[in-house]
Amino acid sequence: MQGASASDYFDQPEQHLTDEQRRWLRPLGPVRSRLRRLFIAINRRLMRLLFRFTVRGLDRLPAEGPLVIAPNHTSSLDGAALFAALDNATLDKTRWAGRRGAVLRHAVRRFFNRLAKTVPIERKASALAAAAAVLERDENLVWFPEGTRTIDGRLQELKPGVGLLMVRLGVPVAPVWLEGAYYALRPHTLRLRLGSPIEVRIGRPLAAADLDLDGLDDEQQVNRCIEELRQRLEALRDGQESSDGA
């Protein structure tokens, strides 16, 4: 739909979905559901066989959604690591936002992304409609707030989308730091460093309501949320526990 604003994407998200996104948002059938369970089990096993894989803070994720799960993005292993870290109950109600070109690149990617319950999005404002549609279904959404992988392992600038989701929809965001994935499989290479340590560090969810946003306009509120999320990610990166347990 031409000329749509950010408000339109949040107020009427279903109207801004593509036919393709609607198909990918449909529940999996019984055969795909069984294949998904097998895929999850094999992925968990491989991550623990190939790497020194650990998870910290899983109990911080709430039992009820919706929730945005916001990891740093360093490697093609990021999805596999997070998939291995989350428990079945959380995975059952979680979808993933993935760049359309990567999700649909070839048949094998399409197959596994469908089992993962990925939603293909473009890197533009209309992606917010897909995100809102997932969250309005009371499902969780994995959303990489940097938008793309880092090229040097460092945390990049966070895009405003995650802040808009926090402010406009009032959903909490759980910061997640993926430590070691960058070194285990660097971008633009196929060389795995087997036996490398990979740790998934999950922080306590952050909501816009937790912050003092009084007197701030919409843009300032979004920026405040993004800055706080960045601080939470940096604390997880450094292995620090903030006063509120993030």
* Residue spans per domain, the chain: 6-237
pLDDT of residue 52: 97
| Choice between 27 and 190, residue whose per-residue pLDDT is larger | 27
> Taking 50 as the threshold, does the pLDDT of residue 139 lie above it?
yes
Cis-peptide into 27, omega within 30 deg: no
> Taking 70 as the threshold, does the pLDDT of residue 239 lie above it?
yes
| Choice between 4 and 76, residue whose per-residue pLDDT is larger | 76
Q: Please report which helix (H) or strand (E) contains residue 34, including its range.
A: helix 30-50
State how beta strands 173-179 and 197-202 pair.
antiparallel
| pLDDT tens, residue by residue, 100-119 | 988 888 999 999 999 999 99
| pLDDT tens, residue by residue, 42-55 | 999 999 999 999 99
pLDDT of residue 102: 86
| pLDDT tens, residue by residue, 117-128 | 999 998 888 899
Please state, in angstroms and as integers, the Cα–Cα distance from residue 106 to each residue in 101, 116, 203, following that order.
9, 15, 34
Please state, in angstroms and as integers, the Cα–Cα distance from residue 4 to each residue in 60, 105, 180, following that order.
36, 28, 40
Residues 127, 143: Cα–Cα separation, whole Å: 11
Residues 29, 159: Cα–Cα separation, whole Å: 34
Contacting residues for 241 by C-beta, under 8 A, at least 6 apart = 235
pLDDT of residue 3: 52
| Mean model confidence pLDDT for the chain | 92
Q: Please report which helix (H) or strand (E) contains residue 133, including its range.
A: helix 127-136
Q: Residue 94 in contact with residue 79, Cβ under 8 Å?
A: no
> Taking 70 as the threshold, does the pLDDT of residue 174 lie above it?
yes
Kindly report the pTM of this predicted structure.
0.92
pLDDT of residue 243: 36
Domain 6-237 fold is: Glycerol-3-phosphate (1)-acyltransferase (3.40.1130)
Query: Which residue bears the tokens 């070109």?
Result: 101
Burial class (CB in 10 A: 0-12, 13-18, 19+), 27: exposed
Residues 180, 86: Cα–Cα separation, whole Å: 17
Closest CA to 201 of 231, 239, 171: 239
Rounded percentage of the chain residues whose pLDDT exceeds 90: 81
Query: How does residue 5 score in pLDDT terms, banded at 50, 70 and 90?
Result: low
Query: How does residue 33 score in pLDDT terms, banded at 50, 70 and 90?
Result: very high
Please state, in angstroms and as integers, the Cα–Cα distance from residue 23 to each residue in 17, 26, 39, 82, 217, following that order.
10, 5, 21, 24, 37
Contacting residues for 36 by C-beta, under 8 A, at least 6 apart = 28, 115, 116, 117
User: What are the tokens at 78?
Assistant: 């990021």
